Amino acid sequence: MRTHERAANLALAGLSLAPLVVNVNPNVNVVLTACLTVYVGCYRSVKPTPPSETMSKEHAMRFPLVGSAMLLSLFLLFKFLSKDLVNAVLTAYFFILGIVALAIFMDIEASISPSEIDLLQDFNYNGCHALSVEFTKSQIVASIPGFFFCLWYASKKHWLANNVLGLAFCIQGIEMLSLGSFKTGAILLGGLFVYDIFWVFFTPVMVSVAKSFDAPIKLLFPTADAARPFSMLGLGDIVIPGIFVALALRFDVSRGIKNRYFNSAFLGYAVGMTVTIIVMNWFQAAQLLEFDESKVEAEEGGAEEEQDDDSSQVNKKVD
């Protein structure tokens, strides 16, 4: 791990713990936490080999429709069933998911054995197709503290436990999900732009589900306001833009250029997040639309800059 990556990890950890001892402006906390999470996830996504699975244009076009169906289903579940029952089932699900996420995130393979070999376990159920689960010894060791941490989350639902799990989900989502191309990313962000407009501004569904859903699908930022003790940021508003920014970083690495597209995309995300917070406070309404356009425009700017550089190089050669 390089120095700047280690610094980003430490800064993210410190920022997560800071509200326990000092008052941190929630708006500043939201922006910095989101940006640091994207930064960490992007660099973890850079692998020696290309990802085995990528999102196609067809998947990107279907994503807002699938997301809408899931969002509406959750809204109806909370509307017609007991909120406690739904959240109890979700807590059990995220308990297991959290152990796996923390085990992968806290993988301490290097401290056990440099030549550690992956283990493969096959489970058969009544003659059905075998389910293969691959994990390392270090991940098994890491799952032990992960188990007790998730017990703490399930019993106390403390905001810090919620955020640690949420950050682990975000970083791994950015690390593991891969867009096939910038065009696929633009289609995905454009579709989610319309998705956000509809569900946030024209219906109460998005906000209602976010407030009812007692699971680590959102980050909680303590405030000094007793009437509104927490500000919220959905994990999707970190992961979805994050996989686009991560694609830019991997593209830079593959071409051997020094973070041109990554810097443009990351700056676009940071600016979009900042503008979002300003607009949200100004209008006192949920608002997460600026991300999509700001990142796409930032990438277009980076592309135009590279074209200009290429043209200047050609002109120099001609001269």
Tens of pLDDT, residues 280-301: 888 776 655 444 444 444 554 5
The whole-number pLDDT of residue 317 equals 32
| Range 113-139 average pLDDT | 52
Q: Given pLDDT bands bounded at 50, 70 and 90, which one contains residue 134?
A: low
Residue 150 pLDDT > 70: yes
5-59 confidence digits (pLDDT tens): 889 999 999 999 999 999 999 999 999 999 999 999 999 998 887 666 788 889 9
Is there a contact between 306 and 260 (Cβ–Cβ < 8 Å)? yes
Residue 202 backbone phi and psi in degrees, to 5: -105, -10
Catalytic residues: 196, 237
Q: Which of 107-121, 142-156, 213-227 has the highest mean pLDDT?
A: 142-156
Residue 136 pLDDT > 60: yes
Residue 123 backbone phi and psi in degrees, to 5: -115, 130
48-90 confidence digits (pLDDT tens): 876 667 888 899 999 999 999 999 999 999 999 999 999 999 9
Intra-chain end-to-end CA distance of the chain, in Å: 44
Is there a contact between 64 and 191 (Cβ–Cβ < 8 Å)? yes
| Range 291-312 average pLDDT | 46
pTM for the complete prediction?
A: 0.81
Distances (CA, A) of 226 to 43, 216, 229: 38, 22, 5
In angstroms, the CA 36 to CA 34 distance is 6
In angstroms, the CA 253 to CA 44 distance is 13
250-285 confidence digits (pLDDT tens): 989 988 878 888 999 999 999 989 988 888 888 776
Q: How far is CA 246 from the centre of its chain?
A: 11
Comparing C-alpha atoms, which of 141, 160, 150 is closest to residue 103? 141
